[in-house]
Amino acid sequence: MLENLISETLNHKKSDIAIWFLRQAGRHIPEYFEIRKKEKDFVNFCLNKDLIIESTYLPLKYYDLDAVIIFSDILMIPWAMNRNVAFTKDFGPSMDPMIPDDTRILKKISISSKLEPLKNSISYLRNKLPKSIALIGFAGAPWTLACYMIEGKGSKDFINTRRALWGSYKWFMELIETLIVYIADKLEMQARAGADVLMLFDSWSHMIPNNFFYDCAINPTARIIDILRSRKIFVPVIGFPFKAGSSIVRYSFESKVDCIALDWSVDLCWAVQNINKDIAIQGNLDPASLIPSHSDYLKENVLAILDIMKDKRFIFNVGHGLTPDCKIDNVKEVINIVRNHSRKI
């Protein structure tokens, strides 16, 4: 039963292949920047019910999509954990860095009371949105949140995080364990409020030393899903082990996700041969192909993806988030190609 949920939820009447885009709301739609001006501080923006609703809706003004992702950020969990999270223009996110053996993380907090505006905006949106449009809730995966929490900011190699893993493994796993519970709480809250699908972003999974990939990515994901199922939350979960290379094979069999999101570097032919055939696939158009005002390869590339994925349970998406410079007309063209192609099958 569970394995059919992704297709039941997303593969509905409009076409055989469901389509939505990672980071479809913020960043490339002109009105987003107008809405964004209403609240200077990005954390407060993510805590404002009206602004969350407006931003989540925005892509539907332009695009014929099968799903919207609730407007929030993966770093709202570290914020709820009092890590002093801030978003600075041209710098990105920052927070108080953590040093190994810091035990303050173990203090229990209530995610659902801290993120109440998120819950309320999901309830509101699920009531207003047409039934045919799925509402996606999300969270960052434990490893990716630990990366930001230890480093205190973005990084090209997350060296302090990897040092902490090798040097203070027990403490590191306690941090992962704490995050597993908060992430499960946040996902449960979103599902109870009305999210139809949940997504776990492991955006820095390519930083995990290979021998720790099970401990830091696969097992924590499986544990989060076990907690959700034990709490009677049965909505499908999409996992996104970004750029994890061949480790995605084991991830697809053991993480318990219902759908695996693939980044643009993954060879789809290889993926359909090697990854768990019982789960759906989402992906994996390169978002950079949507930037030029004209690209001869765009249509060809979209059709190639559709061809490889025909007869498979597949959600069309980009292989990483849309960027601010991506062109609205190109996104529209991709949607048209997918819709027309689906109708022909």
Can you give the binding site for ligand CP3, defined by CB under 6 A?
A: 23-27, 36, 42, 69, 71, 73-75, 87, 92-93, 138, 154, 201, 203, 321
- 81 vs 306, which CB is nearer to ligand CP3? 81
Q: CB 273 → ligand CP3: shortest distance, Å?
A: 26
CA distance 114 to 326: 34
Residue 153 DSSP label: B
Residue 232 CB, shortest distance to ligand CP3, in Å, is: 26
Our CB check for ligand CP3 shows the closer of 158 and 201 to be 201
Q: Report how far residue 88's alpha carbon sits from residue 40's, in angstroms, rounded to the nearest whole number.
A: 10
Q: How far apart are CA 282 and CA 280, in angstroms?
A: 7
Nearer to ligand CP3, 138 or 314 (CB): 138
171 vs 251 by CB, closer to ligand CP3: 251
State the residue number with the nearest CB to ligand CP3.
26
Residue 145 backbone dihedrals phi, psi, to 5 degrees:
-70, -40
Question: What is the C-alpha to C-alpha distance for residues 79 and 114, in angstroms, rounded to an integer?
Answer: 9
Output the smallest distance, CB 236 to ligand CP3, in A: 17
Closer residue to ligand CP3 (CB): 138 or 172 = 138
SS (H, E, C) 191-207: HHHCCCEEEEEECCHHH
Q: CB of 73: closest distance to ligand CP3 in angstroms? A: 4
As measured in angstroms, the least distance from the Cβ of 155 to ligand CP3 is 11
* First and final C-alpha spacing in the chain: 25
CB of 204 to ligand CP3, least distance (A): 7
Half-sphere exposure (CA, 13 Å, Cβ side) for 34?
Answer: 5
**CA distances from residue 79 to 70, 111, 199, 326 in whole angstroms, order as listed:** 18, 10, 19, 29
Q: Cβ of residue 69: shortest distance to ligand CP3, in angstroms?
A: 5
| Integer Cα distance of 163 and 144 in angstroms | 15
Neighbours of 218 (CB within 10 A): 26
**Of 22 and 281, which CB lies nearer to ligand CP3 in the complex structure?**
22
Q: Which is nearer to ligand CP3, 243 or 341 (CB)?
A: 243
